[in-house]
């Protein structure tokens, strides 16, 4: 079997892989509570598993670096097992990794994200890498790429964390990520005006999970299924792989506006 992971290669093997690859996959996630339904490392493990399947489909265009198991998880610190790093730390680490890869000839980065809490800071990272460091960067989050499959299998209005969707995906990727006693959410329905992010016209606020759910869960993991998780995983892997193949083979996007001059017809 071909090897996709740089940390599992010798330096000789890495040199060969890097000479053929155009894109480095950087799995990022978190180590944080998911109530009784999922292990604390599920976010980074989902990112790692999806990256492996994407690399298998796109070999030899891509290589994978070791996953970052920590993310922006301050909103989960009210529950045991959560480890949080700051936005500054997160940015510094992933930018340094990207700059190291550039020294080895890889100038395109695709983050495979497993934690919604990383989404905002990844947007900043993409801009800095692309415009300040000459590294084309993109980020994929499975909930976006598999949104239609998720809509088909979602059973609750407030979902997204230790829920029927995330638990289904974990079942499909590695059953050891799933807890032994699945529970539905024990929600705290106490929102101020326009604070409910599941309702229209919400204002952005910082809300801890401990203020929103008593058991750390949204959704209902008891309604999870292997069938749903397989469909979600397949959709995400297929679409991200298609993006990567295009991203890997296209030339750099010009930052110079197209000419506005037009020739006069005689």
Mean pLDDT of 156-176: 98
pLDDT tier at 217, thresholds 50, 70, 90 = very high
Range among 2-6, 142-146, 262-266 with highest mean pLDDT value = 142-146
In a domain, 263, yes or no: no
Nearest to 70 by CA among 86, 50, 53, 48: 86
Domain range enclosing 123: 6-249
| Nearest alpha carbon to residue 247 among 106, 102, 112, 110 | 110
Instruction: Please determine, for residue 255, whether its predicted confidence score (pLDDT) is greater than 80.
Output: no
Is position 65 within any domain?
yes
- Mean pLDDT on 16-29: 97
- Number of domains comprising the chain: 1
Is residue 261 situated within a structural domain?
A: no
Here the tokens at position 259 are 């000419």
On whether residue 143 sits in a domain, the answer given is yes
């Amino acid at each position: 079997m071909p090897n996709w992971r740089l940390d599992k290669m010798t330096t000789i093997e890495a040199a060969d892989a890097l000479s053929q690859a155009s894109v480095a996959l950087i799995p990022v996630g978190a180590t944080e509570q998911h109530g009784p339904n999922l292990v604390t490392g599920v976010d980074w493990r989902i990112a790692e598993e999806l990256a492996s399947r994407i690399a298998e489909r796109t070999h030899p265009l891509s290589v994978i670096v070791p996953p970052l198991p920590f993310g922006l998880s301050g909103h989960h610190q009210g529950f045991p097992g959560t480890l949080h790093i700051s936005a500054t730390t997160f940015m510094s680490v992933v930018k340094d990794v990207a700059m190291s890869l550039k020294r080895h000839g890889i100038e395109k980065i695709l983050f495979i994200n497993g934690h919604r809490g990383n989404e905002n800071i990844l947007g900043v990272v993409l801009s800095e890498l692309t415009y300040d460091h000459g590294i084309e960067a993109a980020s994929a989050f499975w909930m976006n790429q598999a949104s239609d499959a998720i809509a088909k299998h979602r059973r609750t209005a407030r979902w997204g964390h230790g829920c029927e969707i995330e638990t289904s995906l974990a079942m499909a990727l590695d059953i050891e990520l799933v807890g032994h006693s699945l529970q539905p959410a024990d929600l705290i329905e106490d929102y101020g005006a326009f604070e409910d992010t599941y309702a229209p016209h919400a204002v952005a606020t910082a809300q801890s999970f401990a203020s929103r759910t008593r058991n750390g869960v949204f959704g209902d993991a008891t309604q999870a299924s292997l069938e749903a998780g397989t469909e979600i995983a397949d959709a995400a892997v297929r679409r991200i792989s298609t993006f990567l193949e295009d991203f890997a083979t296209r030339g750099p996007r010009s930052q110079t506006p197209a000419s506005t001059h037009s020739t006069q017809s005689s």
